[in-house]
Chain A
Amino acid sequence: MTINRRHFLGTSAAAAAALAAPMVKADGHGKPRVVVVGGGAGGATAARYIAKDSKGEIDVTLIEPSRMYYTCFFSNLYLGGFKEIEDIGHSYGTLASGGVNVVHDWAIGVDRDAKTVTLAGGATVAYDKLILSPGIDFVEGAVEGWDLSAQNAMPHAYKAGSQSELLKAQLMAMPEGGTFAMVAPPNPYRCPPGPYERVSMVAHFLKNNNPTAKIIVADPKPKFSKMALFQEGWANNYEGMIDWIGSDFGGDNVSVDANAMTVTIDGEVTNVDVCNVIPAMKAGRIAELAGVTDGNWAPVNAIDMSTKADPDVYVLGDSSQQGDMPKSGFSANSQAKVCANAVRGALTGSRVFPAKFANTCWSLIDTNNGVKVGATYEATDEKIAKVDGFISATGESADVRKATYEESEGWYTGITTDMFG
């Protein structure tokens, strides 16, 4: 531990007093400072790589309100009964011992002229380079009848943790032969196959515990990611249980009533027992407060993930508008490593290598029945552009599907170790 490294301890009075003092800018004084906002797939990876690779030459501060990060990835498998909630929770202890100053607080403002971030606890943190990876927030008024105050009655479970546990509890409490409804989101949103993997996992749970129950999905889109694979899997494994209503059949004309527990699809009112509302999404609010968004997302340069608005502010993951990559944990992690290499190069003169990105999204349809879609990407002047890709085929053998599922288990261990150390 170096003596002049700042340790931000959100709750201690001494730390708060120290933080109130004016910050010295790094130009010429002390180490360059990187502040990362959001300790998820993008932010944790970026913080870890910059700290690890700069070997103490850069001060890295990670601002994240939660002490436990629950991965959205595999949260559907938790709903299906394949994972426990503890399996998808990760703490920040190893990152902290790896040299990252982990501050458990909310960033509530960014002053890009002064190059400071303000925290809810009142502290101000100075940066030379700021990396924002705050994930998503929901577009207000996206689903008629739903707002955040309805998220207990009708959970989104699209930020994992207590929302996932709530949805699972509601699923388990469904009456025999009851109805589970999902309102699916419009593009673009995090994890394109996510809602449909969830439908599969809910169907798996119901098949074993409540086989006469029904699932209805109101979807504002006419088609969705891995559609042929999911529809084949639903027909083979959950015949007659799932009614998917796309926009061609009125799925885009939907409202909900959280008090009455009804869903109205194209004028038809249905009483439901569980209603999973996944509203339209936008960049995490701090990106908007920092003034680096244009519309719902933050446009970035593909070469290093710096924003179009400010070369010293970078946006990773779901919040970024980068081109062809889907909004996924894999993508955010991949972008973080390109960004970390570029930021370190800019601050310490270390070698900067070509930007290469990749993504693979696995989904589980039923026990040992995994499918995947993946691609590689490169940076062009306009965007992150797709190079090459693949998707699982319909009609694959049980052996291939089992191997695909096992790969996803390996990947989960790999990516969470890559994020948190």
Chain B
Amino acid sequence: MALEGDLEYGEYLASECTTCHQVDGSANGIPSITGWETEPFVTALHAYKAKHRDNEVMQIIANRMSDEEIAALAAHFKTLEN
């Protein structure tokens, strides 16, 4: 888990997430993903990718993410206030 996240790439990739997840950290019907620590964020995305968590929307999104991309996203969302 020592991958250094590329913040600029993370910001670009995150634009896909903010169609559903609120940038300001609020949540109605879709959970907040801002301000998370790296570890649980990365673990959650890997769990969707491995289909250990069963939301289909998140599964297909995580499915095409490389480890570098997940690290970049984690780095970006960590910088956002909750």
Interface of A toward B, CB cutoff 8 Å: 49, 330, 333-334, 337, 341, 351, 353, 356, 358, 360, 372, 374-376, 378, 387-390, 405-411, 413-415, 417-418
CA of A190 to CA of B26, assembled, Å = 30
CA of A84 to CA of B54, assembled, Å = 33
Q: In the bound complex, do residue B19 and residue A330 qualify as a contact, i.e. CB atoms below 8 Å apart?
A: yes
Task: Annotate B45-82 by CB proximity to A: 1 below 8 A, 0 otherwise.
Answer: 00000000000110111011000000000000000000
Tell which of B20, B56, B59, B61 touches A414, judged by Cβ atoms closer than 8 Å: B20
Q: In the bound complex, do residue B57 and residue A360 qualify as a contact, i.e. CB atoms below 8 Å apart?
A: yes
Q: In the bound complex, do residue A414 and residue B16 qualify as a contact, i.e. CB atoms below 8 Å apart?
A: no
Q: Which residues of A contact B37 (CB under 8 A)?
A: none
Tell which of B12, B22, B60 touches A353, judged by Cβ atoms closer than 8 Å: B12
Closest CB-CB distance, B15 to chain A, in whole Å? 4
Tell which of A356, A390, A413 touches B59, judged by Cβ atoms closer than 8 Å: A390
Tell which of B12, B19, B57 touches A418, judged by Cβ atoms closer than 8 Å: B19
Q: Answer whether A390 and B18 are a contact pair too, CB < 8 Å, given A353-B9, A358-B61, A408-B29.
A: no
Q: In the bound complex, do residue B16 and residue A337 qualify as a contact, i.e. CB atoms below 8 Å apart?
A: yes
Tell which of A341, A375, A388, A410 touches B30, judged by Cβ atoms closer than 8 Å: A410
| A to B CB contacts below 8 Å, 19 in the list | A49-B15, A356-B13, A358-B60, A376-B63, A388-B63, A390-B56, A405-B29, A406-B28, A407-B29, A410-B22, A410-B29, A411-B20, A413-B28, A414-B18, A414-B19, A414-B22, A415-B19, A417-B22, A417-B24
Q: Answer whether A353 and B13 are a contact pair too, CB < 8 Å, given A376-B61, A376-B64, A390-B59.
A: yes
Q: In the bound complex, do residue A376 and residue B20 qualify as a contact, i.e. CB atoms below 8 Å apart?
A: no
Tell which of B12, B20, B60, B63 touches A410, judged by Cβ atoms closer than 8 Å: B20
List CB contacts (< 8 Å) of B1-53 with chain A.
8-9, 12-13, 15-16, 18-24, 26-30
Across the two chains, which residue of chain B brings its CB closest to A377?
B64
Closest CB-CB distance, A42 to chain B, in whole Å? 13
Across the two chains, which residue of chain B brings its CB closest to A373?
B56
Report, nearest first, the 3 A-B pairs whose CB atoms are least far apart. Answer: A410-B30, A410-B29, A406-B29
Q: Which residues of A contact B63 (CB under 8 A)?
A: 376, 388
Closest CB-CB distance, A415 to chain B, in whole Å? 5
Tell which of B13, B26, B57 touches A407, judged by Cβ atoms closer than 8 Å: B57
| Majority secondary structure of chain A interface residues (helix, strand, loop or mixed) | helix
Taking A353-B13, A360-B20 as known contacts, 8 extra A-B pairs with beta carbons closer than 8 A to each other, sorted by chain A number, are A337-B12, A356-B64, A374-B57, A374-B60, A407-B30, A410-B30, A411-B20, A411-B30
Closest CB-CB distance, A87 to chain B, in whole Å? 13
Across the two chains, which residue of chain B brings its CB closest to A403?
B29
Q: Which residues of B contact A351 (CB under 8 A)?
A: 8-9, 12
Tell which of A389, A408, A409, A417 touches B60, judged by Cβ atoms closer than 8 Å: A389
Closest CB-CB distance, A374 to chain B, in whole Å? 6
Q: In the bound complex, do residue A388 and residue B60 qualify as a contact, i.e. CB atoms below 8 Å apart?
A: yes
CA of A376 to CA of B17, assembled, Å = 13
Q: Which residues of B contact A372 (CB under 8 A)?
A: 56-57
Q: In the bound complex, do residue B23 and residue A376 qualify as a contact, i.e. CB atoms below 8 Å apart?
A: no
Q: In the bound complex, do residue A410 and residue B61 qualify as a contact, i.e. CB atoms below 8 Å apart?
A: no
Q: In the bound complex, do residue B12 and residue A414 qualify as a contact, i.e. CB atoms below 8 Å apart?
A: no
Closest CB-CB distance, A152 to chain B, in whole Å? 35
Residue among A333, A334, A356 with max Cβ neighbours from chain B (10 Å):
A356
Residue among A49, A353, A387, A409 with max Cβ neighbours from chain B (10 Å):
A353
CA of A330 to CA of B15, assembled, Å = 12
